[in-house]
Amino acid sequence: MHRWLFAAALSLFVSSAWAQARTPLQARCEDTIGESISVLSTREQGYRIDNTRSYHDLTRLMPSARRGSWVLGLTHTEARVRINVGGRMLADPATGYECVAPRIDVSLDYAPIVVYVSREFPPASCAYREVLAHEMRHLTTYQSFMPNAEATVRARLAGRFAGKPLYAPIGQAQALLQREIDRSWMPYIKREMARVELLQAAIDTPQEYARLGKVCAGEVQSLLRPARKSS
């Protein structure tokens, strides 16, 4: 009920007071403080390949790994969302209301992506190339997902904030706007960014793991066997 508190308050005020024509406050706000603007930007942080960790280390880095299984490669990053809120305001003591033309700046990116291949696989080996190729599919999925998330979030922001100013009782507009950002927009954008993990899970199928266990004439298993004995 409270997720769209600011929007609900705005709708009530418009329907009760300004349904027929612009009031003096509405005219002043729309003609002087400008339009509401939402700006969304994304940034590519790049990636690096790390061959320094053992498969024991990589397994510990992935708590969701199935019991009894080993993580031979891992693509690790973290989605980051930043939202800054500003905008011009105008108050009308005669009506007891104020208006704000919000400027919503949203920045989406990933922490620099690290592609791990366990150190048990020499970089020149067939097994290393196969594990790396698998992890590069995860990397590509992260990179290609970002434009889709950007387009989805941009459209939702434009539908809410692009255009005319927003109105609220004097002294409440900024707080209500920030509350909407914190309670609705930040969780929503984080959920959109997290949808990439469904695509990542579709790569790590039992069939793919079985394939990797058999590639390169069993090289994966032969390279792991000495490491298991020494651990």
Q: How far apart are the first and last CA of the chain?
A: 55
Q: What is the pLDDT along the chain (231 residues), one digit of tens a residue?
A: 222 222 333 333 443 444 457 888 888 888 888 888 888 898 877 899 999 999 889 988 887 766 667 889 999 999 999 999 999 999 999 999 999 999 999 999 999 999 999 999 999 899 999 999 999 999 999 999 999 999 999 999 998 887 788 999 999 999 999 999 999 999 999 999 999 999 999 999 889 888 888 888 887 777 666 555 455
What is the predicted pLDDT for the residue at 226?
53
pLDDT at 11: 33
Query: Rounded distance, CA 215 to CA 226, Å?
Result: 18
Q: Please state the pTM of the whole predicted model.
A: 0.80
Give pLDDT, residue 20.
Answer: 54
Predicted confidence at residue 225, as pLDDT, reads 62
**What type of residue is 187?**
P
Structural tokens at position 151: 């387009």
